[in-house]
Amino acid sequence: MNRLILIEGLPGTGKTTNSYKLYEQLSRNGRDVRWLHEVSQPHPTLFFSEVCLTKEEYCLFIEKYPEAAEMLNSIAEIRATTVGIDYLTVARKLLGQEQTAWYQELLQYDVMDFPLERYETVAYEKWEAFVKTALHDDTTYILDSSIFQYQIFTYLLNGAEYPRLTQLVHSIMNMLRPLHPALIYLYRENTEDSIAFIEKQRGIKDLESTWERDKDRPYYRNKQQDVTAFFDFLKDYADFASRLYDEADCSKLKIEITAQNWDLYETEMLRFLGITYQDASSCQAKDGRYVNDLIGVSFSIKGNILTDPEGVRRRLSPKSQTEFFIEGLPETLLFFKEDSVRLCGQQIIPQWSETGTIYKREKDHRTETQIRTEDIK
């Protein structure tokens, strides 16, 4: 019955880890499932890389820059009164010509810079478009960080009070009812523990960078002028998220994750959703270095561990003899022919992850003796 699964919690509470587990298990149970990662691109409900114009503004823009019409029309999502365009998709199509006048003017409509009054309109319409699409297929959707985290960050940074936030969230939740949403909230009882975990995991410099980026936003007025103000922000976030969970009128599950017993939490989530755990097969991906010369990036595979272009090691889990889940990503690797692999699923923002991208395995010119010797070492 649950066509939509919402995973929420503070940063560092395992939303990505557990979204991936559900994505894997739903797929193994024969469900058509899409995991919409927080940085999926383009994203159907969030605005990390979207410009949005009213229909009137869009028509005037196309009149001013007719040379952009064909490209933008092929990308744009037309909503009730607005037009959304993923500007990173546009940038990729421009092939290094991002300084062109029309693209730079287009960026002036970045939703991240909108006042709340305008944000509320475009956010509601974007969720409305998502629901309309979801109701016309049999897909189960997993959304992480969308209904709570993104909204809380947006409203807190703009200095809005809780009643204004909850008005939008409640209206979205009402809109989602036909999809029978299930809400899973991951949390630590002591928010200080979450802050300590984030600091240990990401490093204090990363937290200072986040504060530096946002310190001029309304939330930080009259706050202490150092990273400890960001810690206060996270505490307010936890308070807002907990209240939104308590008020949510849908099927819901709350999991305290301080002990980090991820196998237990997976069992709880599967039981809550009525999903039977399915073991992976013992298939092995083909080892080697895989290259796409067109975009100039590569990744390597050894022993069902993929090291991505950013150096992150990700476990590969067999979906079939030729297709493998990629740990932490809403994508799979599909092996075909003798030396090629294609990325399938929902791409995230880094260019190497673009859906449909094909990588070819480099030939190994070592002798059999060299290979055996290196494997022993």
Listed residues 273, 296, 312: the one ending a domain = 273
| pLDDT number for residue 253 | 98
Low-confidence stretches of the chain (pLDDT < 50) are 367-369, 371
Listed residues 273, 301, 324: the one ending a domain = 273
Asked if 144 and 202 sit in the same domain, the reply is yes
Asked if 330 and 292 sit in the same domain, the reply is yes
Helix (H) or strand (E) holding 335: strand 331-336
Cis peptide before 115 (omega within 30 of 0): no
Asked if 153 and 207 sit in the same domain, the reply is yes
Asked if 22 and 147 sit in the same domain, the reply is yes
Listed residues 229, 247, 273: the one ending a domain = 273
| pLDDT number for residue 373 | 55
Helices (H) and strands (E) in the chain, counts: 13, 16
The CA-CA-CA angle for residues 124, 55, 355, to 5°, reads: 70
Asked if 204 and 319 sit in the same domain, the reply is no
| pLDDT number for residue 108 | 98
Instruction: DSSP for 120-187, please give it.
Output: HHHHHHHHHHHHHHHTTS--EEEEESIIIIIHHHHHHHTT--HHHHHHHHHHHHHHHGGG-EEEEEEE
- 44: in domain: no
Do residues 24 and 325 touch, judged by C-beta distance below 8 A? Answer: yes
- 264: in domain: yes
Asked if 10 and 68 sit in the same domain, the reply is no
Asked if 313 and 251 sit in the same domain, the reply is no
Asked if 329 and 245 sit in the same domain, the reply is no
**Residue written as token pair 């922000």:** 233
- 37: in domain: no
Asked if 144 and 214 sit in the same domain, the reply is yes
Span 188-214, pLDDT tens digits = 999 999 999 999 999 999 999 999 999
Asked if 262 and 294 sit in the same domain, the reply is no
Do residues 149 and 8 touch, judged by C-beta distance below 8 A? Answer: yes
Three-state DSSP class for residue 30: coil
| pLDDT number for residue 371 | 46
| C-beta atoms surrounding 80 within 10 Å | 10
| pLDDT number for residue 367 | 44
b/e map of 332-349 (b: 16 or more CB within 10 Å)? bbbbeeeeebbbebbbbb
- 279: in domain: no
**Residue written as token pair 């010509």:** 97
Number of domains in the chain: 3
Distant-in-sequence, close-in-space partners of 351: CB < 8 Å, separation ≥ 6: 92, 295, 297
Asked if 155 and 11 sit in the same domain, the reply is yes
Helix (H) or strand (E) holding 34: strand 33-36
Do residues 27 and 334 touch, judged by C-beta distance below 8 A? Answer: no
What predicted TM-score, i.e. pTM, was given to this entire model? 0.92
| pLDDT number for residue 334 | 98
Asked if 145 and 91 sit in the same domain, the reply is no
CA torsion sign for 153, 159, 163, 165 is negative
Tell me the C-alpha distance between 121 and 159, whole Å: 18
Boundaries of domain holding 92: 50-113
| pLDDT number for residue 351 | 87
